[in-house]
Structure 1
């Protein structure tokens, strides 16, 4: 998929409807409701119900999207730290921290100008749910890696887009107010593919639109030699930039995290 292989088949077919199909919950309750196990066909997955990936996320191990399907767990608090004091308080709390809040990011733009956006690699898409609560429409790219992410996102009343990071973003130039990516656009992607993806983010943002780079990770040597020059080539303005080392049991590792709020120049 990273080399551009089409993930969806092009053929005439009728995917079968799950037995005892249950309608999704209505909005706004659907944003935080786990869908019925009968909402999808589980044939292609190791798990056969939604309690399985929830329990797997709680267990120890290297499962990539821990707790993604557990809407009552840490998903409930993502991007909300410091938000109780309003957008100005949230913006102040963001300074010096890798953990930006949604309210803090929205406070960086004129009120009401962030209306439509994209979340790259959004998992079960709590980001889009939180933005919808604030009147912002966000489309999410998500792949079904080891879980039915697209079906889960759709059941929440949000818009999933089955798209790899190697694909060109299917939006016209200069149309989006915000693009967000957490962990996905990072050093695990080949450099040439990553740079093309970043230039594509720049292309689809309108002048003055913002790119929220959320916990980009890389090794310390890569940061100075590869990624800082790459970000400079893209041409974003830096509204906010925070970097910090990964901590493992209190010990600093050579892996670095970057959170940044980058704006496409108006001219």
Structure 2
């Protein structure tokens, strides 16, 4: 990869960086260049997720959509990927078909029974950050969400929702 240190990173048209990170390798040159940002990104204070982490929609102009991407807007992405904010607002509230699932109300009840406030947490594999958003909205907790941009801009979506995304693989 050809790049100039301390300059904007070259475009990763083949998603080499993501593929390397998934296999436990961090592409070293990317540590010394700056990630590109959209030229018309709105100020953080005006983003829809800063007050409510379940906005009606996420601004498409805040993401640099890859030229090779099938979708170039959040509305184009399938709802099951976690970008339908209406559906996501109800996740983690009601029990699902598995007894192993822990809903947010159950978690808060356990914390209350033990007189332990939840202030900080780590959500591993957080997708678009729905669990972190629910914890932020319900108890004001700060939840760091680990994300990977696997076919969709999960990391950017979590940041647009006013959350703390951490772009790392599960390894």
With the length of structure 1 as denominator, give the TM-score of the two structures.
Answer: 0.48
Aligned structure 1 segments of 4 or more residues deviating by more than 4 angstroms: none
Q: How does 1:72-221 map to 2 (within 5 A)?
A: 72-73=86-87, 75-81=88-94, 97-109=99-111, 110-133=114-137, 134-166=139-171
Q: Using the alignment, how far apart are the partners of 1:100 and 1:3 within structure 2? A: 30
**Contact preservation (8 Å) 1:46, 1:146:** no
Q: Using the alignment, how far apart are the partners of 2:124 and 2:50 within structure 1? A: 23
CA shift for structure 1 position 4: 1.6
Structure 2 counterpart of 1:4, from 24, 30, 46:
24
**Structure with greater strand share of residues:** 1
Q: Using the alignment, how far apart are the partners of 2:75 and 2:118 within structure 1? A: 35
The superposition leaves residues 102-154 of structure 1 with CA deviations (integer Å, 9 ceiling, x where unpaired) of 12122223234321110001001110011112121110000000011111000
Q: Using the alignment, how far apart are the partners of 1:142 and 1:150 within structure 2? A: 6
Q: Using the alignment, how far apart are the partners of 1:160 and 1:120 within structure 2? A: 10
Structure of higher CA gyration radius: 1
Secondary structure, aligned partner of 2:65: coil
Q: Using the alignment, how far apart are the partners of 2:34 and 2:142 within structure 1? A: 31
Structure 1 unaligned segments of length 5 or more: list them: 58-65, 83-93, 167-267
**Cα distance change of structure 1 residues 7 and 150 upon mapping to structure 2, 3 Å threshold:** farther
Q: Using the alignment, how far apart are the partners of 1:113 and 1:149 within structure 2? A: 28
1:32 corresponding residue in structure 2: 54
1:47 corresponding residue in structure 2: 71
Q: Using the alignment, how far apart are the partners of 1:105 and 1:14 within structure 2? A: 36
CA shift for structure 1 position 26: 6.0
CA shift for structure 1 position 7: 5.6
Secondary structure, aligned partner of 2:89: helix
| Aligned residue pairs, count | 141
Structure 1 counterpart of 2:84, from 70, 73, 76:
70
**Contact preservation (8 Å) 1:123, 1:149:** yes
With the length of structure 2 as denominator, give the TM-score of the two structures.
Answer: 0.72
